A and B are shown apart, each in its own frame.
Chain A
């Protein structure tokens, strides 16, 4: 167990270790109250649209993972548009222009699908997701929103 009260390390290695532990123990970023309302409105809209247009009722686990993903994206990233893609898949869409778009596919597997168009460069694939943002996605967010920058 780590106890800050008993942490007397003064060496650079000890300070670095302390920083790593503090970072690991810091709760992931949560959306503000206003953002939560916007997010819930978008989730509700996506559910309604998915059912009305395609007759799709999405798996609740997939929505749970959406919130895990949103907690992992770099702080300051705009909230995405949300789309029900199938009964097991939810799409999260970010974008500033037709040639600056990123879409993540969240399902009930331990992977995230991604597709992006940055300038004239199309990129797509799947990456494992276990709560922290994979490097590939951190890179894509930094290309999409350079003013926010990649997470540390």
Chain B
């Protein structure tokens, strides 16, 4: 009997829910704190029509940062300095030129997702990025906790 090739059933990826925590990892220190350029963390490259984000629901804080390193840090040889958290309604609340942004799952890699439906006009894109940044909450990577002896862990 000829062996039949085994088909691996694809596990359906759950759609993003309205209450699910999402984040955009920040790999540029200039985009943290109150810098007027911070919204650029949410600006896709001019040649791209999507922006990478991550689904961080039910992850512990260390796991969120570890995910950032594996999704946004190591693959592009960058350092994750922070992140900006938001939810799906914050994305869909951005409407530019009559067009609303949306967020969709994009596994693999696991927990990867995309913000899509960006306007093509570069200035319209900027206002969309500004609105996303304004709706999000930014966090910096926690500093290492010094040990009692003074050395850092």
> Is B truly associated with A?
yes
* Residues in A lying within 8 Å of B, measured CB to CB: 80-81, 83, 85-86, 93-99, 101, 103, 105, 113-117, 122-126
A124 and B121: CB pair below 8 A? yes
- Chain A CB count within 10 A is highest, among B36, B39, B127, for B36
A97 and B123: CB pair below 8 A? no
Min Cβ gap A93→B in Å is 5
User: Of B36, B123, B133, which one neighbours A81 at CB under 8 angstroms?
Assistant: B36
Q: Cα distance A1–B137 when bound, in Å? A: 60
Chain A, residue nearest B47 (CB): A86
Q: Cα distance A113–B125 when bound, in Å? A: 12
Interface SS of chain A: strand
Q: Cα distance A81–B34 when bound, in Å? A: 12
Residues of B contacting A98 with CB < 8 Å? 38-39, 130, 133-134
Cβ of B96 under 8 Å from chain A: yes
- A86-B46, A93-B36, A101-B39 known; A124-B123 Cβ under 8 A: yes
- A105-B122, A125-B123 known; A99-B36 Cβ under 8 A: no
Cβ of B19 under 8 Å from chain A: no
* Residues in B lying within 8 Å of A, measured CB to CB: 30, 34-40, 46, 96, 121-124, 126-128, 130-131, 133-134
- A86-B46, A101-B130, A115-B130 known; A124-B34 Cβ under 8 A: no
Q: Cα distance A95–B133 when bound, in Å? A: 13
- Chain A CB count within 10 A is highest, among B34, B37, B38, B131, for B37
A101 and B124: CB pair below 8 A? no
A101 and B36: CB pair below 8 A? yes
Residues of B contacting A83 with CB < 8 Å? 37, 40
A99 and B134: CB pair below 8 A? yes
Interface SS of chain B: helix
Min Cβ gap B61→A in Å is 23
Residues of B contacting A117 with CB < 8 Å? 39, 127, 130-131, 134
- A85-B46, A93-B37 known; A122-B130 Cβ under 8 A: yes
Min Cβ gap B29→A in Å is 11
Q: Cα distance A96–B36 when bound, in Å? A: 7
Q: Cα distance A116–B134 when bound, in Å? A: 12
- Chain B CB count within 10 A is highest, among A81, A105, A114, A122, for A122
Min Cβ gap A88→B in Å is 11
Residues of B contacting A86 with CB < 8 Å? 46
Min Cβ gap B93→A in Å is 10
B36 and A124: CB pair below 8 A? no
Excluding A83-B40, A114-B123, 9 further A-B contacts by CB distance (< 8 Å) are A93-B36, A96-B36, A101-B130, A103-B130, A115-B126, A115-B130, A117-B127, A122-B127, A122-B131
Residues of B contacting A123 with CB < 8 Å? 127
User: Of A95, A122, A125, A126, which one neighbours B36 at CB under 8 angstroms?
Assistant: A95
Q: Cα distance A16–B135 when bound, in Å? A: 49
